[in-house]
Structure 1
Amino acid sequence: MKTWWRKGLFLGALGLLFLTGCSEKYPLLDPQGPVARKEYHMLLLTTILTGIVIVPVVILLFVVAFRYRDRPNSKAAYKPDWHESKWLEIIWWGIPVIIILIIATVTVKETFALQYPPEKKEPITVEVTSLDWKWLFTYPEQGIATVNYMNIPTDRPVKFVLTSDAPINAFWIPSLGGMQYTMPGMAMRLWSQADEPGTYIGKGANFSGKHFAKMSFKVNAQSQEDFDKWVEEIKSTKPALTNEGYAELSKQSVVGESAYSSYPEDLYMNILMKNGGEYMPNHWMMMENQKTAQPTK
């Protein structure tokens, strides 16, 4: 058997070996909310459009390598004076340009469309603080706090207000979509939503030191009724988070999950102010007002 046939069989077997692992669901390919679904559709569109270029190029690579290989009595055309073709230039430059324009247009449109949650249901707000090496979630409307896990109601938008009291990190829940950096002194914003009950994994998606790989957290999506029961349970069974307790929590350490029945009302604002920022409790409303404001006469 010729060498190139052996190499072809080896590459084919290697490809099948990798494909055997595709039966398992990956979070990015298993969207569980409206944001994740839009991102998934954008991923599919980009894959299909880039495939229009990649697949023919890969096929032509093997065809050209086979047809023009060095062999006796080759019948392949030999044109040493041929140097260009206007039609070929138009094809291999025009098609990629069109594809890039389509991808750019769709990406910009969908990105702006995902800036604000739908107005059908009242969102719930969760303040997110990344620490070394853990996540603190505070619920300003419910008055409770959790570490390394959060509960959210299903079929209801969740508005995340994100900051950091440690090095810059990135907040990411692959199954629910969206990713946003957490930065000291800044209140970034992101929204998401879970359509079905379940437990989803969130990650710290930016290098932030020795134990950054352990900065994962659970997101438990449950019905509104179960969420309300959970809040009441936390309030009645868990201790309060004090300023002293937060000072200890914010030290570099790896901890497990915990919850608190209350926390200092100005905790999140103090975190922002300490790092040179300014907290606007109604920042989302202000953004909405700016978006819909009419010019004054």
Structure 2
Amino acid sequence: MKHPHFATFGRTLGIGALMLLSGCTMEVLSPKGDIGAQEKTLILTALGLMLLIVVPVIVMILYFAWKYRASNTKAVYMPRWAHSTRIEVVVWTIPCIIVAILAVMTYKSSHALDPYKPIESSVKPVNIDVVSLDWKWLFIYPDYDIATVNQIAFPVDAPIQFRITSSAMMNSFFIPQLGSQIYSMAGMETKLHLIAREAGTYAGISANYSGAGFSGMRFDAIATTQQGFEDWISKAKASSDALTPQAYQALLTPSEHDPVKLYSSVPTGMFDNIMHNTMSKIAGLDPASCTPTSQNLIAGTN
């Protein structure tokens, strides 16, 4: 018969574990792309190496506490013991070896998984410009002259080349099942290269706290067939909304849990203008010194 105290302890331990893991994004352990798969391998390998130290230490703590308990009169009492060369060699050599292995892994993976490094493929890449707003995501497809809010789509097996910036405070662009996260910063451009190997709709999130609407700053990343992607592009082009300067100014108003929205057209060079305008505001420059197109975006005129 199970002791009631053990049952209570088990429930408490389970609830505690769930609470500790509640902030984790477990999708990283179910990757659907090359970058995500490599990062999963790196995470599990690093975890395994560190457990080689952690698990024996935990086992020895429990063993020593039991062996040298006050009631064990058979345990050898050595009050003057102070040093053991064999123990020193073990406790220093093994961690040093593991740290060295982790250092080599970190160096190699930092270069192999560089988010700025293009993915080699015979398939034409899809270019997507990303702007983080309060609290929504704006995506611009410069090659297709369309834009969306809180939704992107791309073909399976096609590299995706992201250019990322922010019109507000710093955020972090992250599609856990596809791979690396990278920051979006006002007035600056960062880059990210991903690829999906399986069709599906993957959750995109902001991984950096940015205010009251942070928790709802999510988007859908749809990996589909080439035909499905072309149909999605056609659907966007058929939208009655265009991403005019006035529409962009409306998007700048902070809002939460925004629905997906499609725009049938986008002003040429809008991403660069957004980035440069934000940079000018940060630097305290006069908008009159910007290009005419940039002035239009600031003023919200055509």
TM-score normalised per structure 2: 0.83
2:210 matched residue in structure 1: 208
Q: Can you list the C-alpha shifts for 1:147-174, whole angstroms capped at 9, x where unaligned?
A: 0111111111101111000100001111
Task: Return the letter of the residue paired with 1:261.
Answer: S
1:164 maps onto 2:163 in alignment: no
**Pick from 237, 247, 250: which aligns with 2:249?**
247
Structure 1 SS opposite 2:132: strand
List runs of 5+ in structure 1 lacking aligned partners.
Answer: 278-297
Percent of residue pairs identical: 37
1:217 maps onto 2:216 in alignment: no
Hey, what's the Cα distance between the residues in 1 that align with 2:189 and 2:138? 14
1:34 matched residue in structure 2: 34
1:256 maps onto 2:259 in alignment: yes
1:82 maps onto 2:81 in alignment: yes
1:46 maps onto 2:59 in alignment: no
What displacement does 1:12 show?
Answer: 5.6
What displacement does 1:6 show?
Answer: 9.2
Query: How many positions carry a matched residue from both structures?
Result: 270
1:267 maps onto 2:270 in alignment: yes
1:284 matched residue in structure 2: none
2:119 matched residue in structure 1: 118
Distance verdict in 2 for CA 1:137–1:180, change over 3 Å: same
Matches within 5 A, 1:1-297: 26-71=26-71, 74-115=73-114, 116-120=117-121, 121-254=123-256, 255-276=258-279
What displacement does 1:200 show?
Answer: 0.5
What displacement does 1:10 show?
Answer: 6.0
The answer on whether the counterparts of 1:126 and 1:137 sit within 8 Å (CA) in structure 2 is yes
What displacement does 1:67 show?
Answer: 0.8
What displacement does 1:125 show?
Answer: 1.0
Hey, what's the Cα distance between the residues in 2 that align with 1:10 and 1:101? 42
Q: CA RMSD in A?
A: 2.4
Q: Can you list the C-alpha shifts for 1:15-36, whole angstroms capped at 9, x where unaligned?
A: 56789999xx931111100000
Task: Return the letter of the residue paired with 1:245.
Answer: A
Distance verdict in 2 for CA 1:238–1:37, change over 3 Å: farther
Hey, what's the Cα distance between the residues in 1 that align with 2:106 and 2:8? 38
The answer on whether the counterparts of 1:243 and 1:267 sit within 8 Å (CA) in structure 2 is no
What displacement does 1:122 show?
Answer: 2.5
1:288 matched residue in structure 2: none
Structure 2 SS opposite 1:43: helix
What displacement does 1:238 show?
Answer: 3.8
| Runs of 4 or more consecutive aligned structure 1 residues displaced over 4 Å after TM superposition | 5-22
The answer on whether the counterparts of 1:32 and 1:176 sit within 8 Å (CA) in structure 2 is yes
The answer on whether the counterparts of 2:119 and 2:194 sit within 8 Å (CA) in structure 1 is no
Structure 2 SS opposite 1:178: coil
Hey, what's the Cα distance between the residues in 2 that align with 1:20 and 1:46? 23
1:282 matched residue in structure 2: none
1:281 matched residue in structure 2: none
What displacement does 1:185 show?
Answer: 1.0
The answer on whether the counterparts of 1:148 and 1:258 sit within 8 Å (CA) in structure 2 is yes
Q: Can you list the C-alpha shifts for 1:90-147, whole angstroms capped at 9, x where unaligned?
A: 2112211211221121122122112223322321111111000000000111111000
Hey, what's the Cα distance between the residues in 2 that align with 1:196 and 1:145? 24
List runs of 5+ in structure 2 lacking aligned partners.
Answer: 281-302
Task: Return the letter of the residue paired with 1:117.
Answer: P
Distance verdict in 2 for CA 1:67–1:11, change over 3 Å: farther
